[in-house]
């Protein structure tokens, strides 16, 4: 998967991880011998996977996807404008002039739907972890 290669080259994880705090706390508390055994990584996870339906246990990895047809950004346009224009602390990594232009005309040919989606996610992340409450 090209996304994996590019993201790994830059030390980024773009797949959806296990985010539940209880799952993370449980995994961190496990002894190493349960996580890695006989040169097998994720040993316990692989043992547990046998209880899952094969279509889930054996499916390929995939990256977090967005709506490529523009419907999502179009549907959420007002909310996205408010989020990206009116945040108390705009994410400093975003070029807000470009975002304003893309949000005002998301249906025009050449509009950067993917860029809007990335900006929405980045601003939500910024608000959740860095913005002053």
Encoded tokens for 87: 């945040």
Using the Cα atoms of residue 119, residue 12, residue 18 and residue 25 in order, give the sign of their dihedral: negative
Q: What is the dihedral of CA 77, 112, 97, 101, to 10 degrees?
A: -60
> In this structure, what are the phi and psi dihedrals at residue 6, rounded to the nearest 5 degrees?
-65, -45
**What contacts 23, CB < 8 A, 6 or more positions away?**
none
- Asked if the model's pLDDT at residue 1 lies above 60, the reply is no
Quick: pLDDT tens for 52-107.
Answer: 998 988 888 766 565 555 566 667 778 888 888 878 888 888 887 777 666 766 55
Q: Taking the domains of the chain in order of start, what are their residue ranges?
A: 2-57, 71-129
* Average pLDDT of span 19-23: 79
C-beta separation of 91 from 100 below 8 A: no
Give the DSSP H or E segment for 37.
strand 36-37
* pLDDT for residue 51: 92
pTM of the model: 0.49
| Nearest by Cα to 117 from 102, 107, 127 | 102
CA atoms within 13 A on the CB side of 113: 17
């Amino acid at each position: 998967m090209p996304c994996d290669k590019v993201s790994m080259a830059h030390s980024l994880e773009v797949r959806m991880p296990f985010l539940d705090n209880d799952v993370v706390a449980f995994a961190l508390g496990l002894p190493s011998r349960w996580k890695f055994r006989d040169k097998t990584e994720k040993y316990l996870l692989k043992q547990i996977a046998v209880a899952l339906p094969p279509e889930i246990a054996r499916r390929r990895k995939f990256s977090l996807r967005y709506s490529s047809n523009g419907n999502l950004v179009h549907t959420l346009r007002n909310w996205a404008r408010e989020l990206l224009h009116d945040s108390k602390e705009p994410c400093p990594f975003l070029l807000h002039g470009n975002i304003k232009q893309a949000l005002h005309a998301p249906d025009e040919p050449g509009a950067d739907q993917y860029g809007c989606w990335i900006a929405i996610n980045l601003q939500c992340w910024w608000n959740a972890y860095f913005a002053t409450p």
